[in-house]
Structure 1
């Protein structure tokens, strides 16, 4: 199954999509592919916020903004 979540920047897409993934995975593995290129302090803050949102949910995260 593939689920696509779209929306504007700052609209809560990531948090919503993570919740959907957790529910669909049940006891299965969870993978998170983080592809944002970080520019400046705002980018650093966004990445840190997303890391905190994922914390404790069981995601195995790969941060690779290029060459996915």
Structure 2
């Protein structure tokens, strides 16, 4: 994973490129998920960039966070 930064809370932030790589989805799919609002762990970080925290991504992969209906 490349785009690692820490936000003000000290949480490690993961951006679109790495999220797509980990979840094995296309960018367009990830953007569609974000726009749908069904995946609350995806949000705007640092203005216009879409991302999530490393912990939330891990929880989503493990099934602890599911999409909203």
Of structures 1 and 2, the one scoring higher in RCO (CA 8 A, sep 6+) is: 1
Between structure 1 and structure 2, the one with the greater Rg is 1
The structure in which a higher percent of residues are strand is: 2
Structure 1 length as normaliser, TM-score? 0.26
Structure 2 length as normaliser, TM-score? 0.25
